[in-house]
Amino acid sequence: MRVSQVSKLRPGFRLHSSSSFRLLLLAALSVAFPILAGCHRQPPLTPQQADGQHLYAVRCAHCHEDNDLALKPPPPNIHGAMGRAKLPSGAPATDAEVRRLVLVGKGKMPSFSGRFTEEQMAALLAYLHTDMPLPEQ
């Protein structure tokens, strides 16, 4: 169908050139791609990370997620902390420092010395290095 035929059927309708259509498509894709790229699914946890997720859920989340003890100020949100240079406390975000904080405690956080085996501590640290998905309930 030619432009003149379309114009007769729908007054005011004008077919655009293919270069205009390409520019419009390119603009739409440049907006949509970053949005869609951010919607990726996170990779599944390894068995070690899944063990760490369980430990976090039963030993850490009641304070760091739920604050069910109503602590003031509330314990810090530690999601993504291992991806930053510093922990919420200002200490370096390293495995050694997190291990020290867990085992020794700090402020209102009690010591968990003797409550984690080396294998459990390694699992917890592995989980803290993920996006920290919480277990489905």
DSSP assigned state of 83: G
pLDDT band at 21 (very low <50, low <70, confident <90, very high): low
Looking at the predicted structure, is the pLDDT value of residue 33 above 80?
Answer: no
What pLDDT, on the 0 to 100 scale, is given for residue 9?
54
Q: Rounded mean pLDDT of the chain?
A: 80
State mean pLDDT over 20-44: 58
pLDDT band at 31 (very low <50, low <70, confident <90, very high): low
State mean pLDDT over 44-65: 93
pLDDT tens-place string over residues 84-132 = 999 988 999 999 999 999 999 998 899 999 999 999 999 999 999 998 8
Residues in a beta bridge with 92: 86
Looking at the predicted structure, is the pLDDT value of residue 32 above 70?
Answer: no
Looking at the predicted structure, is the pLDDT value of residue 25 above 60?
Answer: no
Q: Which of the two residues, 33 and 116, has the higher pLDDT score?
A: 116
What pLDDT, on the 0 to 100 scale, is given for residue 26?
55
What pLDDT, on the 0 to 100 scale, is given for residue 84?
92
- Extract the tokens encoding 5: 């035929």
What pLDDT, on the 0 to 100 scale, is given for residue 3?
53
DSSP assigned state of 86: B
Q: Say how far apart CA 137 and CA 128 lie, in whole Å.
A: 20
- Extract the tokens encoding 40: 């990726």
> If residue 58 lies in a helix (H) or strand (E), which one and from where to where?
helix 47-59
